[in-house]
Amino acid sequence: ENGAAADDRRVSLRLDGVTKEFTEDDGGTVVAVDDVSLDVYDGEFIVLVGPSGCGKTTTLRTVAGLEQPTRGRIVIDGEDVSGQEPRERDVAMVFQNYALYPHKTVRDNIAFPLQIRKFPKGEIAERVEDTATMLGIGELLDRRPSDLSGGQQQRVALGRAIVRDPGLFLFDEPLSNLDAKLRIQMRTELNRLHSRVGKTSLYVTHDQAEAMTLSDRVVVMNDGEIQQVAPPEEVYANPANRFVAGFIGEPPMNFFDVRVEARDGTLVAVGDGFELSLPEALAVPTDAGTDFELGVRPEDFEDAALVDDADPARSMAVHVGVVEPMGPHKDLAVRPVGREDDPDAEFTARVSNATGATEGERLTLVVDTTNAHLFDRATGDNLT
């Protein structure tokens, strides 16, 4: 599950059947993390991603020692640390709200983890300078957090984590309080920092752009359970199931209820208001009466008028709703012809900017089905 050919690498962090249950006020039980097992290799950047409440933060907190797992073990560098206090573990955590000391200067904020560990003064000064320079906040050392921008405060929080040179970094949505532009800038800086420092990192976010750009591997969670562990390109191109397919990708993948028929040696997906011939690679058993969902990403549609020799067997006649110009392309909200009045039939087609499609008109779309997926409607498994 965690990827092949990785066995020869050193495991830095192992989550072994970690379960965390909380008792609610009414006596009920919430299973926040449900039997999560994961090996993180030395130097890897792992991003935990999933919808709100899926258990990402709780998973991270069990690694930090801020929560005790109900069952299971946390192993860091081969040592079972499950019973250890947070400060006994060789980890540093960066939080969403920075958690800086408001009355201390930047210098003292960064120095603090070294001061409480009684590092010599000279070494503290040197390490603080080096860390601040690396993060581009060398000029700010005598300021207080309230005199810094959000991005600068986040750099100070990063500095405080890095300065101690811990074996493992834990990040809990560290960029979510920054505005969109700064978030992207800090994302790039985190990437650069990881290339330089190369420390094993576990990073929690609900922002899939962060997950895709920062990670060596993505862990997609839902309802406390791991849905898929794979490199970012892989979760995008080969989602394990309907949940991952719908969660990764923006705008999200479109799903169509279909049955699959074999006709003259070709598989055809028959939906409400359309028929699409499928590539051989999507060969699935057609006899079992399985109900399928066909998944097609918005970018796999094109305005047929812009395609030479558009294949009628891979075309769909639609009614165009809202047209959103996005610069290089346009996002069309469309419904199959015959289902114009059904809001549930609406899906998104991302077509070239050159399209003449306008709201209220009919349009023929061509569908590139080579990247399409078929999901078992009962189990959600990706069958392709």
Which residues contact ligand ATP by CB under 6 A? 22, 30, 32, 50, 52-58, 206
| Cα–Cα distance for residue pair 267/254, rounded to 1 Å | 20
| Cα–Cα distance for residue pair 48/284, rounded to 1 Å | 31
Assess contact for 155 and 135: CB atoms under 8 A: yes
Is the Cβ of residue 53 or residue 72 nearer to ligand ATP in the bound state? 53
**Residue ranges of the alpha helices (H) in the chain?**
56-64, 106-115, 121-134, 150-162, 180-197, 208-214, 232-237, 242-247
Is the Cβ of residue 127 or residue 206 nearer to ligand ATP in the bound state? 206
Is the Cβ of residue 25 or residue 341 nearer to ligand ATP in the bound state? 25
- Give the shortest CB-47-to-ligand ATP separation in angstroms: 13
- Give the shortest CB-362-to-ligand ATP separation in angstroms: 42
Is the Cβ of residue 38 or residue 365 nearer to ligand ATP in the bound state? 38
Assess contact for 56 and 103: CB atoms under 8 A: no
What SS3 class is residue 129? helix
Is the Cβ of residue 34 or residue 77 nearer to ligand ATP in the bound state? 34
Phi and psi, residue 64, nearest 5°: -70, -20
Does an H or E element contain 259, and which?
strand 254-263
- Give the shortest CB-61-to-ligand ATP separation in angstroms: 8
- Give the shortest CB-312-to-ligand ATP separation in angstroms: 45
What SS3 class is residue 101? coil
- Give the shortest CB-323-to-ligand ATP separation in angstroms: 33
